[in-house]
Amino acid sequence: MDSILETTLGSLTLKRPTVLASGILGISLDVFNRLHDAGAGAVVTKSLSKEPWEGYPNPTIFSVKGGGWINAVGLSNPGAENFAKMIEPNNDVPIVVSLVGSIEDDFEYMIKKFENCKVAAYELNLSCPHVAKVGLEVGDDIELVSKIIKKVKSITNSPIVAKVGLGKSDYLATVDAAVSAGVDAITAINTVRAMAIDVETQMPILSNKIGGLSGTPIKPIALRCVYEIASKFDIPIMGCGGISTWEDAVEFILAGSSAVQFGSVMGDNWVETFGEINSGIQKYMERKGYATIGEMIGKAKRQ
């Protein structure tokens, strides 16, 4: 019924362009099914590691006065093997498996665990801003990024997505390394390193002290990144960061995204967000006379 919303990222075709971002509600197949029914074109799993991780003690997530959320969950996850077993029965939901590791062998080890699963794509988390030796610390190391992507491409035919964020080095250099190494798509961006201090107790609120900012305050930053990547590289993009309305989603598509990811918005609105954003995009397309998402992608960079 809503084939007008179909979008493609290389060999990956999604019925709808709205994708659940990694780390949001991402640990149960039953919940994935619910979000898919609610309209998600795909879901990205919580970033998985070789072994189960407990993550940091609470407080791990809370809102920022004035807007947005800060989190340092610490990549708590059940580990690749447990997770693969859980999603083995899945046939219906396009599941993008997010992976986090320090060296290329970690990723190879984890991908092997998913041999019996239907995986729509792998998203390599090169951008988590608050855990040592993984995520952003890997993304900041251009040579390592290249090695990891080459290795991963050599062992699986599933599309590989690199998720980048704002770290110490130029994120465009990370994108460049990923594209040169043969990555199939880019997700941009992850949370932006941030913190909050409580003035009464005079303490950082996060147990990890430093975490990542998500939600509406980072939207203009994420949009700028998508626009820059789309302007410099010929690579499909999933825009992510602060999207909470169909209008935000359209902005990202016009900047060059083929699909959009979101998460924090669910703290205010609930799973209905997927349906609302889908129908908002569809109405916009009808109003503007677009027959496919593809026609809209990158429209804002024509000048």
Ligand X SMILES: Cc1cc2nc3c(=O)[nH]c(=O)nc-3n(C[C@H](O)[C@H](O)[C@H](O)COP(=O)(O)O)c2cc1C
Q: Catalytic residues, which ones?
A: 128
Identity of the amino acid at 210: I
As given in the structure block, the two tokens for residue 294 are 């593809």
State yes or no: residue 46 binds other proteins (CB under 8 A): yes
Whole-angstrom distance, CA of residue 150 vs CA of residue 167: 22
State yes or no: residue 223 binds ligand X (CB under 6 A): no
Tell me the window of 18-26, 113-121, 125-133, 239-247 that interacts with other proteins (CB under 8 A): 18-26
State yes or no: residue 69 binds ligand X (CB under 6 A): yes
Residue 237: CB minimum distance to other proteins, A: 24
Residue 136: CB minimum distance to ligand X, A: 10
State yes or no: residue 149 binds ligand X (CB under 6 A): no
283-to-8, 66, 167, 251, 290 alpha-carbon distances in Å? 20, 31, 37, 14, 10
The strand pair at 121-125 and 203-204 is best described as: unpaired
**Of the candidates 214, 280, 266, the residue with the CA atom closest to the CA atom of residue 35:** 266
Site string for ligand X, 6-45 (x = CB under 6 A): ---------------xxx----------------------
**Residues binding ligand X: number (CB under 6 A):** 27
Tell me the window of 3-11, 193-201, 224-232, 239-247 that interacts with ligand X (CB under 6 A): 239-247
State yes or no: residue 53 binds other proteins (CB under 8 A): yes
